[in-house]
Structure 1
Amino acid sequence: MFLLNNYYHNNTDLIINIPGIPAEFVTIPEYITVHLDRPDEVAENITVPFIDYIKNVASSELYPTWPENALRANIHAIVSVALNRYILEWYRSRGYEFDITNSTQFDQAFVKGRGIYESIDRIVNEIFNDYVIRDGQVIPLFTTFCDGRLTSCNGLFQWGSVDLAEQGYTPMDILKYYFGDDISLVENAPVGGVGLAYPGEPLMPGDSSIIILRQQLGLNRIAMNFPAIPQIAPTNGYYGESTENTVREFQRIFNLPVTGIIDKATFYKIRQIYAAVSKLSELVVEGSIYEQIIEISKDAFLKGDIRPGVDLLQYLLSVMSVFYQSVPSVAITGIFDEQTRVAVIEFQKVMGLPATGIADKDTLNLLIRAALGIFSTLPPKEVYIPYLRFPGLPYRKGEGRESPGILIAQEMLSYISLAIPSISYISEDGIFGEETERAVIAFQQMFGLEATGVIDEATWNELSRVYMQQRYGELQPTL
C-alpha cells in the first residue's frame, strides 16, 4: 500500500528552511519626541505617536489638493527623515532629550495641536511604516526636501514633485528623480517590535490566526475604557460576527472607515489605543496580552503557531489527505501557515465541525481518532513517518487521553520491535498504558538511556534516530 511511503518520498522537497529575520532591521517607533524649536533653544518637548507625527508634518508641509502620487512621494521622504534621526539617535547621542526638532532649518515642520487633512490622514495610515533606503544600506535615507520655489536644496523639490506627478510619474519615479536610481522602498516595517507588524493583508471575517487573537484581546481591553465597544466572545482567534461588530464600533468611535475589516489603519489604531489605555490602567490582575494568548491557545493551534506539535498536526493532516480527497496535503514545516489552516478547515468540514481553521481540542480529538482508525488497519511496515520534533512535554503512563505524540511514538516503537525482539510489539491506541511503558523502558535500556519509562526529549530524539536509521537506512534532515 502506497499510503505514506508515496507522500514522504515524493514530498521531501516540501520540508523547507524558513529564512530568519535579518540581523539588522529597522523597527518603527510607536512614539517620537519632538523639540518645539531649534535644537539649542529652550522649548517644550512633546512626545506623540509616530503616525500622528507624520500626519502633522505632512499637513504642515504639503497641500492636500496636490496629486496623490506627489503626496505619497513627499510622505515617504518625511517618514525617512524622521526615522533617520530616530534610529541614529542624532540628537540623543549629543545629549539632548528629544528625537527631532520642528525647525525646518534642521528637520521638518511640526505644529502642536494643528488639524490633519483628510487626504493626508488616509495616505499616512497606509504608508507610515514604509521608508526609503539607499541600495545595500539598512538605515533610512535622510531624504532632504524643500519647497523648490522660495528655497532650493540637494534633495526633493516639493513643488517639483507636483509637476512630475502631473506628468504621470509614480511616487517611486519621483523619489528616484531626486535621489537617484539606487534607492529602494522598505514596505510594512515592524512597529514597536518584531512580530507585531501588520501582516500585509487585511484581517477579515472567516480568518483565524494568533494575530487575530491578539487583536481580539486588545479590543476587549480597549472596551473596558470605551463601554460603547462590545466585548468579543469567544476570544479564540476566529474572526466571527462578534469580532466584526466590535471592529465596526471601534472604527466608528475612532473615525476610521466602518468596514468591519482590520485593515492596516485599523490594525495600528488598535495598537495605539491599546498602548494608551494599558498605560493608564491600574488593573494589575488583568495580566499581559501574551499571558492571555498562551492560556487561550494551550489546547489549540492557530495560524502563526511555531510551537512544538505543529509538525505532528501537519503530518496527521497529510495522512488524512490520502483518504479524504477534499483535505489537501501540507508541507511538514513546523510552522502553522495558510496551507495548514486550509487543510484544518477541510478536515473540519469532513467531520461536521465548525470550519474555523483552528486546530482546537475537538478538532485534534477527531484527528487522532481518524488517524488511529487508519493506523490500526496497517502493519508498521506500511506506515512511513518523517522526522518530527519532540512535542514539548514528556509523555508518561497514566495520562489517560489520546495524544498524537503518543500515537507516533507507538508507531515508531512497533516498527523498531520488528528488528529488535527485546522491545515488545505494542498496539497503537494513542494512550500511554502499561504496554507502552514496558516498550519504552526496553528501548531505553537497549540504547543507554535512563530507564524511566517516560518519553522525554532525549528518548524521543533517540527513538526518532533509531526509527529513521532502520526505516530509511540513513538519518533524515531535521526541520
Structure 2
Amino acid sequence: MMTGNISVADVPAYVTVHLGSLDEMSENVNVSFPEYIKTVVSLAVSPDIPKDALYAITYAYISRALYRITQKKYRKMGYSFDITNDPSDDIYYEYNSAIFGNVNETVDLIFNEYLANGDEYTPFDAVICYSKERCRGLSVEGAIELAKAGKNYTEILEYYFGGSIRIEKNAEVFGLENEFLIGYPMYEGQRGGNVSGLQIALNRISANYPTIPFIENANGFYNNNTSESVKEFQRIFDLPISGSIEKNTYYKLLYVIDSIRRLNQLVVYETQFEGITPQLRAILKYGDVGNQVKLLQYYLLFVSSFDDRVPPPQVVGVYGEKTYQSVTAFQNIFGFEPNGIVTQEVFGVLQGVYKDLFSVLPPSAFSEKAVPYGGSMLVLGSVGRDVRYLQQYLNKVADAYPIIQSVLVTGEFDRQTEDAVKNFQSLFEITPTGVVTSTTWNILAQVYNAILASE
C-alpha cells in the first residue's frame, strides 16, 4: 500500500510455514496469516496473561513474522515456503496447536497492524525472548511483569524497543478476492451499497452455514434481519456478538467468502475432466505433460483446499516444481516415499481421498452459476443470447430486491430491460447508465449466484 511516496508493507492473507529448520525434511503448511499469529502467540503465553502484555507480545510477533515474510529470504533461495518454525532463526510454530480465546480475539483485531521504527514503514524485526535473562528484545516474562505493574502495551513496547517504536495500523491484506464488501464499520440503521454488499455476502455464506438466517428483503437497509444474520455469523466464528460489522467481523467475512469461492471453483473445474480416463496408464513424474498430469493436479488442488499440508499446484498439464511439492507432501502424509513419482498406488489413494471429500460437499457447491461476461457491452437495441441471460438474471435478482422490476425474457434489450439495469446499478452504487459493461455484469452475476446458492 502506498502512503504518499511511502510504501507500507502489505499483509499476506495466507502464509506457507515449513515445519522444521531450513534444511530439515519436513512438511509445509499453508495457513491464514491470522491463524498463524494466533498459534505462535498461544504457544508463547498462558491464557491468563494480562491484556496489555498480550497486546505487546502479539504486536512483536506480528512484526517479526512480517519482517521475515516480506524479506522473501526463503523464496529467493528457491524454497517453497515463507518462514520456518525454527525458533533460533524464525518463530516456533506447531500445526493445529490450541488457540486461546483471548489470543483469538486480540489477533482478529490487530493482525494487520505492525511495529515500525521512527520514520520507517517496513515491519520492525522484533526479537522475542521467553525469559528476562540475556534478552536483547522483548521478554515475554518481563512484559507480563510490566503489565502487572500497570504499564500499558505502548509503554511495554517502548520499554523494550525504544521511544521511536510505533504501530503502523491497517495495512492492506492481499490475497483475498472481495466482490461484495466495501468496508467497515456497518451497523443497524445504515443504508446504501455497502449494506447491499454485506447482505449478498451473508446470503451467500448462509448456503454453506444454514443457521445464518437468509435476508429476504436485501434492499441495502441494515435492518434487524441483517443484524440477526450478522450475530449468527459471529457466533459460528467465535467473534464478539454485536450484530455490527467491525474490523474483526469484516475480515472474517472476507476469509469465509474466499474459502467458499475456492470450493465452488473446484467444482467448476471438475466438469473439465469428464473425457479424461480416471485410471493411470503409466507413472507420472517431473517433466511429464498431458491430460493425466492435469487430472493429477486437479485432484491435488482439491485435496489442498481441505488439508493445509498439501500446497496447491497449478492445473496446467505440466508436471513442474509446484506439482512436485504437492505430490511429495501428499506422499508424506499417506506414508509413501516422498519421491514425487506418482505410481498407480499413489494415484489410487489420491483419487480415493478426492472422492471422499467430493462426496461431502454441500449442495450449494453445485448450484448453477451465471455465465462469464461475454466481452461486448449490452445497450438499448442489443439482441442475442447474452441479453437473454441478462434478463434471466435480472428477474432472479428482482425476487430478492423489489426495487428492480421483472422483465420479459425476449433476448432483446428494450426500454424495460434498460430501466431494470439502471435500478440495479443505482442499488449497487454503479453509475446508472443502463449500459451493461463488465463491471455491471460481474456484480449482477455475483448477486445472482448468491441468491441461487441460498435456495
Q: TM-score, normalised by structure 1?
A: 0.54
- Equivalent of residue 188 in structure 1, options 170, 183, 204: 170
Instruction: Find the aligned partners of 2:419 and 2:152 in 1 and give their Cα distance.
Output: 46
Q: Measure, in 1, the Cα distance between the counterparts of 2:261 and 2:125.
A: 34
TM-score, normalisation: structure 2: 0.56
What is the CA–CA distance in structure 2 between the aligned matches of 1:56 and 1:305, rounded to whole Å?
39
Verify: 1:45 aligned to 2:43, yes or no.
no
Q: Which residues in structure 2 correspond to 1:464-475 (within 5 Å)? A: none
Tell whether 2:361 aligns with 1:276.
Answer: no
Q: Is the partner of 1:91 in helix, strand or coil?
A: helix
For residue 340 of structure 1, what is the aligned residue in structure 2?
none
Tell me, yes or no, if the aligned pair for 1:28 and 1:189 is still in contact at 8 Å. yes
Give 3-state SS (helix, strand or coil) of 2:154's partner. helix
Q: What residue in structure 1 maps to residue 63 of structure 2?
A: 80
Cα gap change, 1:114/1:280 in structure 2, threshold over 3 Å: closer, same or farther? same
* Contact 2:195–2:220 (CA under 8 A) maintained in structure 1: yes
Structure 1: how far apart are the matches of 2:427 and 2:75?
Answer: 37
Report the Cα distance in structure 2 between the residues aligned to 1:178 and 1:259, rounded to whole angstroms: 36
Query: Shift of residue 158 of structure 1?
Result: 1.0
Post-superposition Cα deviations, 1:119-175, rounded to whole Å, max 9, x if no partner, equal 1111111111111011221211111111124x6332111111112112222111111
Deviation, structure 1 residue 30: 1.2
Deviations 1:426-456 (A, max 9, x none): xxxxxxxxxxxxxxxxxxxxxxxxxxxxxxx
| Cα distance in 2, alignment partners of residues 283 and 82 from structure 1 | 41
Q: Read off the aligned partner of 1:140 and give its amino acid letter.
A: P
The residue number in structure 1 matching 2:92 is 109
The one-letter amino acid paired with 2:156 is I
Q: Within 1, Cα distance between the matches of 2:263 and 2:145?
A: 47
Deviation at 1:27, TM superposition (A): 2.1
Matched, 1:127 2:110: yes
Q: Name the residue aligned to 1:227.
A: 210
Which residue of 2 is the match for residue 169 of structure 1? 151
Q: Is the CA contact 1:27–1:193 (under 8 Å) kept in the aligned structure 2?
A: no
- Are the aligned partners of 2:181 and 2:197 in contact in 1 as well (CA < 8 Å)? no
Distance in 2 (alpha carbons) for counterparts of 1:255 and 1:229: 14
Correspondence for 2:38: 55
Query: What is the deviation of 1:301?
Result: 11
Shift in CA distance, 27/209, structure 1 to aligned 2, threshold 3 Å = farther
Structure 2: runs of 5+ lacking an equivalent: 265-366, 374-417, 433-455
- Note closer, same or farther for the CA distance 1:169–1:50 as it changes in structure 2 (3 Å cut): same
Q: What displacement does 1:200 show?
A: 8.2
Gaps of 5+ in 1: 1-18, 289-294, 310-479
Read off the aligned partner of 2:127 and give its amino acid letter. Answer: T
Are the structure 2 counterparts of residues 20 and 107 from structure 1 closer, same or farther at C-alpha, using a change threshold of 3 Å? closer
Deviations 1:28-52 (A, max 9, x none): 2111111101111110000111111
Say yes or no: does 1:26 pair with 2:6: no
Which residue in the other structure is 2:80 paired with?
A: 97
Asked whether the equivalents of residues 176 and 258 of structure 2 are also in contact (C-alpha less than 8 Å), the reply is no
Q: Which amino acid aligns with 1:181?
A: G
Question: CA 1:279/1:211 → structure 2, altered by over 3 Å: closer, same or farther?
Answer: same
Compared CA separation, residues 287 and 187, structure 1 to 2 (3 A): farther
- Larger C-alpha radius of gyration, 1 or 2? 1
Counterparts in 2 of 1:76 and 1:113: CA distance versus 1, 3 Å? same
The aligned amino acid for 1:183 is I
Distance 1:59 1:35, change over 3 A: same
Whole-Å separation in 1 of the counterparts to 2:25 and 2:115:
32
Q: Deviations over 1:287-315 (max 9, x none)?
A: 79xxxxxx999747999999779xxxxxx
- Root-mean-square deviation (Å): 3.4
Structure 1: how far apart are the matches of 2:246 and 2:221?
A: 16
Equivalent pairs counted in the alignment come to 285
Report the alpha carbon displacement of residue 256 of structure 1 after superposing the two structures with TM: 2.4
Distance in 2 (alpha carbons) for counterparts of 1:156 and 1:296:
62
